[in-house]
Amino acid sequence: MGATIIERIVGTHAGRDVAPGDTVDIVIDARVARDFGGANVVKNIEEHGLVVDDVGKTYFTFDCNPGGSDQKYAANQQACRGFARARGISIYDVNAGIGTHLAIDEGMVGPGGTIVSTDSHANILGAIGAFGQGMGDQDIASAWAHGRVWFNVPKSMRIFLDGKPSPLATPKDIVLACLRHFHASGLLGYAAEYYGDIVDSLSLDARITIASMATEMGGIITFFPPSKEIIDYCRAAGAASFTPAFADADARYDADVHVDIDGLVPLIARPGHPDDVIEVSEIAGRKIDSAFIGCCTNGRYSDMAAAAEVLKGRKVAPGVVLKIVPATDTVWQRCLADGIIEIFKSAGVLVGNAGCAGCAAGQLGQNGPGEVTISTGNRNYPGKQGKGEVYLASPATAAASAVAGQIATADSIPDKPAVFMPDPELSSARPADVAAGGASGGRPTVVKGRVWVVDKDNIDTDMIFHNRHLAITDIDEMGQHTFGNLPGWESFPSNAVPGDIVVVGSNFGCGSSRQQAVDCFTSLGVSLLIATSLGAIYERNAINAGMPILTADLSDAGVKSGDEIEVDLTTGSITVLTTGKVLEGRPFSDVQMEIYQRGGLLAA
């Protein structure tokens, strides 16, 4: 009995013939960890006293957070760099691009080879007829240490793509047609192989697009038998000696499935489910807020060129943001050399550094609550690319929609884009009788509470409320981060109770203008801040927020943490109740008192 592609590759790397259901150890030709998961791989290696089996087959790829803009990602990346430098492991750093694409373009593995990565889309290597598998941190650590992993041989399926798509259809539309056919679990537990008249004509970029979404159909991997062009590309990329794997004529398949793509038109997946696929025409006209072109599915040069063809001589619709992220720096540089970046910028596009982008939190392509996005990504599960609605489509459809301001195909862009219209009820001026506020009164002018003495000068706003938390807008969430970057005071939020008073030194709140550095104290219920002096912006922020602040120099007054004090805001008098000592501070000005009594500058 002959072998399928998966059986041929696994058997070759296990050193024996295999059949579905067998569990075997297989040699892994390339072992990859990303910045996502990489630090845990390092941790597992070090904690278990393991040694890397072959540094020449071992790689780091930093593609989830290419800017290192998140503190935890930056820390993980640096931990991986240190580990790699000490052992001579190759790093494709933050400027290189998506690791699975680099594995192909840099010749980490060739057709018939094996690769594992901390990336669930490592099965994208099926585009060149190689076996790729996403695995967890312990699996990858074991592969690094031993050069092998255990693997259950899956059943095989043949997928026949029948017919000829319309000229407007793209590889993304082909894979969306497959998703429409198989849904989220139709390939569950299978390794599938693509066949059909169109397959031989598919470029590497097209194969990557289709192979990248095997995961969204539940598949282990989907293979394209490598063509001569693919084999030549991989050899030119520097892949080590490899033997392409093809299925035998008498190979046994669990199923043969035909997917009709004859006359295929542009498709789109509705929010929440990659397999909820309809024709774009069925939802054309849906207003959008943003568009994203990139990710491992559609970040290749041909994807950039397709977007540029639509955007050339046009502008992104007013109020719409189009974000484009090439898959690799090589693609980025080629776009620059060929004038594609210039087309993007002239159209009003935000172009990012090469990397995964939208799938990773904090990167280009994420959206916010209520935001409607059309994306070339592979997933639109709730929360995956943000908290808004995400539609999945091809680069041409995404670019056309960005220009139209609404969902549209490249051949149906209207002469005038859809624009956001002001709400008449919100855009008109407020009536005079409700526009002006006034002091409501009733807030206490005498404050009593337990003291926390933070005997430090020049405490800046990053020490009070670090910039890694700036995305927080809910005041109830802010208190837990108070003094989180002030050495020795990290536990303050868990020890403070409502009514406490904080006493600090000079120039408190210097640094940036962030309001959270004031509101975090309000969140904790702190009743008063007393400072020798305050940063100018911080003082205004506190007054305008209705947060009671008093200026007084208590550095030599003997006040200590745990004392109870009483403060008269109208006179500035400070009484230390535990000793009876009376001190003087600067009383509230008339403006400060009025804003305080009102409950804040903007309170009615």
Q: Among residues 540, 545, 544, 447, which one has the least CA distance to residue 502?
A: 447
Q: What is the pTM of this model?
A: 0.84
- Nearest-angstrom CA–CA distance, 533 and 508: 6
Q: Is the pLDDT of residue 432 over 70?
A: no
Q: Which domains does the chain have, with CATH numbers?
A: 5-260 (3.30.499.10), 267-404 (3.30.499.10), 446-598 (3.20.19.10)
- With cut-offs at 50, 70 and 90, classify the pLDDT of residue 357: confident
Lowest-pLDDT range of 57-61, 261-265, 350-354, 420-424: 420-424
Q: Is the pLDDT of residue 41 over 80?
A: yes
State whether residue 389 is helix, strand or coil. Answer: strand
Distance of CA 410 to the CA centre of its chain: 28
Give the model confidence (pLDDT) of 362-395 as tens digits: 678 889 899 999 999 999 988 888 889 999 999 9
Position 229, amino acid? E
Question: What is the gyration radius of the CA atoms in the chain, in angstroms?
Answer: 30
Q: Is the pLDDT of residue 104 over 50?
A: yes
Q: In a 10 Å sphere around its CB, with 0-12 CB exposed, 13-18 middle and 19+ buried, how is residue 49 labelled?
A: exposed
Give the model confidence (pLDDT) of 221-271 as tens digits: 999 999 999 999 999 999 988 999 999 999 999 999 999 999 999 999 999
Lowest-pLDDT range of 15-24, 105-114, 210-219, 428-437: 428-437
384: which 2 tokens? 């995956």
Report which DSSP code applies to 226: P
Q: Among residues 80, 74, 79, which one has the least CA distance to residue 33?
A: 80
Average pLDDT of the residues of the chain: 94
Q: Is the pLDDT of residue 440 over 50?
A: no
- With cut-offs at 50, 70 and 90, classify the pLDDT of residue 436: very low
Please state the rounded mean pLDDT for residues 100-116.
Answer: 98
* pLDDT at residue number 437: 38
* DSSP H/E element including 331: helix 329-337
